[in-house]
Structure 1
């Protein structure tokens, strides 16, 4: 029996490979949606972790959302960047860029999340599916 984590890892690995092979373009459920690859350092393991994430360009700033599709807990990358906010980001065919992930304070998070929900209505469903506050991070490029 395949474990859910194994399935998610395989899904991510396939999307990462497709992203890199196609200059940042991924098909399937992500087709047409802006994605980035976030490389963070594991909070417990210290190992590099790469995650494909939707991102939102709002007022010239890049934001990522720890929705985990509305699951009860945050995705693992949230703990990673809270522990070590120095990350690397790949967008499109651009070279890997150093950046800092900055968690938004509540008022700014709420403002940005409203825009996220307007652009991608599925995020409204994620918000109602969980009791946790879904975190939002600004990616600040070095």
Structure 2
């Protein structure tokens, strides 16, 4: 488990570095997919955590999906923004900006998830791999 976490941190750090060096563009499995950097406060540690996260823009709003690639628990960043909804995002080469995360209520989430799958069919596969309800968060500008 510790090796898996360390490998995931290294993977994330490589993507974060690539994102910042290339104005928000990342290659490999994320090639051409809209990605943002989410800086959240650790739910337990209180430390700042940066995660590359796929995002979706619908009707002028920005959403992130806690798919964790279909694993049986939400990604760590989801726990963090539930505990501390004030966060920061970096999109493209824009400077970081403050946001407040709002987890969508189930009914609203269920209406939006098919639009996510339409744009990124892999999220349909993630949903089939797990029994949990994959959460969606809206990132509301906080300035």
Normalised to the residue count of structure 1, the TM-score between the two structures is 0.98
Moved over 6 A (4+): none
Question: Where do 5+ consecutive residues of structure 1 fail to align?
Answer: none
Q: Which residue of 1 aligns with 2:60?
A: 60
Question: Where do 5+ consecutive residues of structure 2 fail to align?
Answer: none
Aligned-CA RMSD value? 0.8
Q: Check if 1:39 corresponds to 2:39.
A: yes
Cα deviation, residue 107, structure 1? 1.0
Q: Which residue of 1 aligns with 2:71?
A: 71
| Count of aligned pairs | 141
Cα deviation, residue 27, structure 1? 0.5
Task: Report Cα offsets for 1:42-81 as digits up to 9, x if no partner.
Answer: 0000000000000000111100000000000110011100
Cα deviation, residue 136, structure 1? 0.2
Say which SS state the counterpart of residue 3 (structure 1) adopts.
helix
Cα deviation, residue 138, structure 1? 0.2
Say which SS state the counterpart of residue 107 (structure 1) adopts.
helix
In 2, distance between residues paired with 1:111 and 1:8? 31
